[in-house]
Structure 1
């Protein structure tokens, strides 16, 4: 259940782009092809994006069928149009009663998602507290986390051993390792085709953050500037795999021997292990600069109730039944179709598949170095940091100047959101 399906694009980014469009009121409504929305009587409609792992659609429909209090219909949105269908549908009477997405301040501010504090509060101590924090605004909890998706560097042990390379502990060492690992047939490192997947991990590894607790800029630091310079060095070195057949979320670059080290998510760990067996290692994003420390970026998906639905109470009851009460289904969803960390501490601790080997190592890295999205960090802000990478990593622009330009855009957004 990667954050992305079988398409060569970053679904998380596009989802947020769609949200930005919706917030600006520029996303057109999309007619009746969104399915039976705004369910009447005892019918509910839920929207899911098409996960890449086999069996996921059948699982979600199987859970829904087991629910006896309402007829729950699942719209399984394939291709690259989940976000446009979802956010267009939310503007119409075809809107789903519940849907998966990521916590976003705009959804709360616009009154689009229902307050779920009453169903989450009794069990909130059993959730990863960072997940609770990332869904909380003014003491109210919006959304129930379904899966946590930590991201790491995966590497071929044999390739590192042959080149006499230890797993890098600093970004500088990663750049040096990439050079030693590159041959006529293999590139040292793969960071994804557009490099966007490593922007936030690099910020965290520099000891910085996107925003601070007061919703002020926290990414413009000396460590981040140093990180951008190192990334520029790596980008121009010839040791970075660019234009791979599939993007970072797909394990094929490492599995097919196109690179020695690849950035990817824990969701792909079973596929990596199937292809590479014991020749597979993982490590966090290495520390950047003196103030830095290793970082693991956590993605994931959450369930929200449409506050404008005619069936808010029934939808909340179903969310409580499935994502709070049915621990067996929650573990199945997290661990039967790919590897994810269950947000419920009790499930994560008892899950046999996470207790040994590489999965256990992944959990340890996640617990020690994990970073979660800030609820106020919007798509416009993400795009602004992507511009920083475009101007100072892909092009030879001054990192400080690029960050100054980014600051202006981010501050304008923060003013819109928080005054």
Structure 2
């Protein structure tokens, strides 16, 4: 490649498009002016030399103030949940067609906010897979799907249909998810706040069951994610070898309190922590159990960030009104407000999250052979991470998303 023109070998004699901007964050670092070359839905090359695009390229120059970023990755969403005051009733009782419509709308909403990949960690009737099959990739985010989370009888989110207890049933549950085309196994290792009769301080599965699930998931080349709040259950999840730990709040009876020994293990073992972040201002407050502990939970999150743990952003979008499916930018602002440097925030939402959800190299990076999921911003997210809301354009698999 010369500074004057990209080689014919590089473009393979075929027309493609070029996106230019004054700055590029490639998923790892902020670079200078450059261009991203896209062909057949993939990134063909990323150039910072000032080369002239070839004559057969369609060039879009967003100007010197614009930034190009990899599409963002939300590591924990619920596309089938409508973010209403009773999202549980909707996802449980409405007919499958209505719930699928909710998921379709949620996917479009997320995509327009620059979230080009989501990990759906709890649907009903495997509807996230139905959505993935029915909607073309350019019209929705990439969907990393768990199906209904595995839970105990009457346990947290049992109404989604994932109840399983005992070794044979647990193995069968993991295998069913593989056969249906899921990418990740989600396990309710402890209780939760959204389910009547469930308690987030209670463990739902013992150490042997958790290890069994993880070993079978890994044998079948699935990743494993654990919903967990209380310290003892967090310890069991670490022992079992889960790939990501969801929430990681260290809830106690009336507050939340970090266990330094468990955090140290997570840091040393480089386990991904999916912090639940992001609330849209002006919306109703979170459930009482969360609201009563919110200050203590923020203190825990601040210490987790300061520890150097591998943090990714999981909004839990859909579960209640403060978490609609456009909440992701607010989550990044919250992490920055808790002391995470802006470059680390951006990495957590791109390269780190892509690795956590099993898509390292394909998502969250601007480099050759990665998917051409690109976010174009009007101003610098490094100077102020809230710039992620100043969207000029979103590209999914090389196609510009309508509405931006």
TM-score (norm 1): 0.26
Task: Judging by fraction of residues, say which structure has more helix.
Answer: 1
* Structure with the larger RCO, 1 or 2 (CA within 8 Å, 6+ apart): 1
Task: Judging by fraction of residues, say which structure has more strand.
Answer: 2
